[in-house]
Structure 1
Amino acid sequence: MAQLGKITFTGKSGNKYDFIAYSWDTNFKEGYGAVYFITKRTQKATGGYNHVEIYVGETEDLSTRFDNHHKEDCFKKYNANCKCIHGEQNKETRLAIEKDLIDNYNLPCND
């Protein structure tokens, strides 16, 4: 896995969620549940990176989630190149985090 760094996203509730950023071509282990944030990651002239938030979702298995994703065309349209992952095995918790983040960001691929 090509881990790129860490990033924190904030939900509408004010809760902060720590994510690990991975390159687009990263494959994940089977059965790994998570909330994921799809972004376009670009390097700043002054160092560090910016992330343009594109989509938030959740899954019980990251190893298969991105195979023929229903928003794949939208990801391409917005030049997505980064998968930010917040590991969470509990489905109810994943759904709550996903909603909290969606409610706080204007995400072009979440409709």
Structure 2
Amino acid sequence: MSALEVMVGGALTAANAVIPGMKQRGHGMVMFTGSHWGEVPNPAFAAPSIGKAALHQLARLVALDLKGSGVRSMLLIIKGLVHRQTTENPKRIGEAFLNAYQQPQSPESTEILFETQPEP
């Protein structure tokens, strides 16, 4: 299975599994995890760059498709490496997803950029 199939196919399969129920209830949020490489390609990481660029567009297309349904789409774009020794470790990124979910229902689409930096 290619990186593109995993990143985009997996996200699309998961989104398609939950969106109908969310639409029926009239609320919910589909959350996608992106990467800065999806916005600014890195030749050293060509496959992830292509996969994340496609995932970013998928998240934006889902947002357009959900407009007016009460269901939101959120794309968290992570710039940098994620590990315990960064200021944006996995726990804090999880908290960012939760905070985005708890925000008022006004925007149909939200994009959040995290820039990871080594801890001092």
Scaled by the length of structure 1, what TM-score is found? 0.29
- Larger proportion of helix: 2
- TM-score of the pair, normalised by structure 2: 0.27
The structure whose Rg is larger is: 2
Structure with greater strand percent: 1
